Amino acid sequence: MEHWRGTGKASGKPYDFWACANKSCQAKFKNDNGKPGAKQVPVELSEHKCPDCGLPLIHRDKEGEGGYNFWGCSGFRDGSCKAVFTDDNGKPGDKQEPRAPKTPPSKFKCPRCKEQPW
């Protein structure tokens, strides 16, 4: 499991969650006092394709405090494509710089796939 935390470049809002380090799993979990907590809702792939690699884009949207609204390539987690785009009224807009690199894997195993990829 990898602990992702930081501040979004576009939104300036903080993020803090856990993600499976197994490239094919892509499970994500809320941070619960420094360890993986409840599973987050799985992402939905859109009909919009990434102009850089052709993979589907994912609309990342959260309202309220700590909210964000952008489009990212579904290849981001496995490292194949880091393309990120602004939201333009529910469609991908201008390309942005990708966020900070991943943190190193932790000692926690993924509850979904039960793997530690190191």
Average pLDDT in the chain:
82
Residue 61 in any domain: the answer is yes
- The total of other beta-carbon atoms located within 10 Å of residue 70's CB is 21
Cβ contacts of residue 93 below 8 Å, gap of 6+? 71, 85, 86, 87
Q: What's the rounded Cα separation, in Å, for the pair 77 and 104?
A: 14
The angle at the Cα of 92, spanning 67 to 57, to the nearest 5 degrees, equals 85
Amino acid at 22: N
Q: What is the pLDDT of residues 97-110, one digit of tens each?
A: 766 656 666 777 78
Query: What's the gap between Cα 92 and its chain centre?
Result: 16
- The total of other beta-carbon atoms located within 10 Å of residue 57's CB is 24
Residue 6 in any domain: the answer is yes
Residue 65 in any domain: the answer is yes
Residue 76 in any domain: the answer is yes
Number of domains in the chain: 1
5, 11, 61 from 66: Cα distances, Å: 12, 8, 11
Q: What is the pLDDT of residues 34-61, one digit of tens each?
A: 888 888 766 788 999 999 999 999 998 8
pTM to 2 decimal places: 0.52
Residue 114 in any domain: the answer is no
Residue 112 in any domain: the answer is no
Residue range(s) defining the domain that contains residue 92: 2-96
